[in-house]
Amino acid sequence: MTVEPPLQVPGPGPYPSVALGDLSDVRMPNGMRVVAVRRSQVPLVQLRLQVALGDVRTRDATALRLLPKMLLAGSGARSGSEMAAAIQRIGASVDTWADPDHLSLAASAPRGRMAQILELLTDIVAHPSFPVAEVAGERERVAQEVLQEAADPLAVATRALEAALFPGHPYADPLPSVASVRRASRGALRAFHDARVHPRGSSLVVVGDVDPDEVAEAARNTLGEWSAGTGPAPADAVEEPRAPASARGILVVHRPGAVQSNLRVGTRCQGRHDPAFPALMLAMTVFGGSFTSRLVTNLRERNGYTYSPRAGIDEHRRAAAVSIRAEVATEVTSRALAEVRYELARMATAPVTAEELESSRRYVTGVVAMSSATQGGLAGVLAGLVGNDLDPPYLEAFVDALARVDAEAVSEASARALAPAAMTTVVVGDADVVADALSPLDLVEVVGR
């Protein structure tokens, strides 16, 4: 019997690439930008409509939660129920949400229904009717949503970090009080819509089995008729968030009896408009952005402290932040945080290996290529760019820029963004157990005990 040598490990194949192909990018007279790309693998169109909301303040948190729901609760001549039926009848779907930068609508429809879905989207975004009964119902639903989020330790931890990184700014994503939700009046919601939801500064992205020029034409006949509005022009965007107080100590949010601690570590960083952003993206990937990253290798695969630790860059239109998260067993909280800080220090002071750099380059490029390969994925990616004041070709330029990042650039980005001294640390957990254990690492401040 002959023993065959094991087959060689195959190579990874050609470097992944991204090509947008034919694209139409026009601005309609009312100020709305329309970007369309043909992708014909399935007989659908994917649409993403974003309205820049202007200088939103923290006090608008309640309106940001209620308005997207009210858009679907009745508009034009249709009740909420009639609108839901009209959407379903043509095999379409519509979702709405808002953040301090944008009001967003995501829709899909069969390719032959593009004109109808654009008509419905126009009514939804431009002509909500705020029916009295529906306002009352949505207020109660949002109140319940707020109660549930307040009880969710993952959300509490994320919000506590954001509050520290964006003090007093809407990017802190404050949870409105139940009382403020219940007080939100129909008039106030309508006024928020009138003042902030306008076609200027807004954008429509369409990706699907359609001719890009036909999209532009269909948009002109629907969203193009949306009047530019007569209210005061909202300022361009939220104000630039001021720098947070320098990071100090560990904030422990007490959650009695918690069997896990939710670690959040983060700092503000440069955003996509900074030329060093591609290097930062690769640094974050090496640090904690993939399964093979240092964070996952250490916390999960070596120590078994946690299931799914990760790190990433949270991008807003006017700011960005590095954030690191790990949900760890209560008894290993301090050891886990020590390992996070050790890995941060290693990133900030020593070079990444050539293999780490090449591997993360391929991974990030591959993920961009794959998310751009579906209609819905590409629509989302392009909407993210356009909403961030970037042009679609940025996507190809970003992939090219990733290819040129060298180890030195990654080191520079790491030293700038990942130094442990610059990090804010939040721990949601049982302070009676973890506060003392954390004290050798840093000053500990406990809230909620």
**Of residues 233-252, which lie at the interface with another protein (CB under 8 A)?**
none
Does residue number 370 form part of the binding site for another protein (CB under 8 A)?
A: yes
CB neighbour list of residue 311: distance below 8 Å, 6 or more residues apart: 284, 287, 288, 289, 293, 295, 322, 323, 324, 325
Near another protein by CB under 8 A: residue from 26, 115, 195, 369 = 369
Tell me whether residue 122 or residue 365 sits nearer to another protein (CB atom): 365
CB neighbour list of residue 340: distance below 8 Å, 6 or more residues apart: 263, 265, 295, 299, 324, 326
Return the closest-CA partner of residue 27 out of 193, 223, 211, 197.
223
What DSSP state is assigned to residue 231?
Answer: S
Binding residues for another protein restricted to 291-320, rule: CB under 8 A = 291-292, 297, 300-308
Near another protein by CB under 8 A: residue from 75, 267, 375, 424 = 375
CB neighbour list of residue 352: distance below 8 Å, 6 or more residues apart: 283, 286, 407, 410, 411, 414
Residue recorded with tokens 């300022």:
235
d(CA 418, CA 279): 12
Binding residues for another protein restricted to 28-87, rule: CB under 8 A = 40-44, 72, 80-81, 84-85, 87
Asked whether 271 and 315 are in contact (CB, 8 A), the reply is yes
Which part of the chain contacts another protein (CB under 8 A), choosing from 107-115, 164-172, 231-239, 339-347? 107-115
Asked whether 206 and 382 are in contact (CB, 8 A), the reply is no
Binding residues for another protein restricted to 126-145, rule: CB under 8 A = 134, 136-137, 140-141, 144-145
Near another protein by CB under 8 A: residue from 152, 194, 239, 436 = 152
Q: Which two tokens stand for residue 21?
A: 């192909």
Smallest distance from another protein to CB 150, Å: 7
Tell me whether residue 95 or residue 236 sits nearer to another protein (CB atom): 95
Q: Which residues of 408-422 are buried (b: 16+ CB within 10 A; e: fewer)?
A: ebbbebbebbbbbeb
Asked whether 426 and 232 are in contact (CB, 8 A), the reply is no
Does residue number 374 form part of the binding site for another protein (CB under 8 A)?
A: yes
Rounded to 10°, the helix 333-349/407-417 angle is 130
- Burial (Cβ within 10 Å: 0-12, 13-18, ≥19) of residue 180: middle
Binding mask 176-205 for another protein (x = CB under 8 A): ------------------------------
Near another protein by CB under 8 A: residue from 22, 194, 239, 358 = 358
Near another protein by CB under 8 A: residue from 91, 168, 393, 448 = 91
Does residue number 449 form part of the binding site for another protein (CB under 8 A)?
A: no
Smallest distance from another protein to CB 175, Å: 13
How many of the chain's residues bind another protein (CB under 8 A)?
A: 80
Smallest distance from another protein to CB 23, Å: 17
Smallest distance from another protein to CB 373, Å: 5
Near another protein by CB under 8 A: residue from 60, 173, 327, 343 = 327
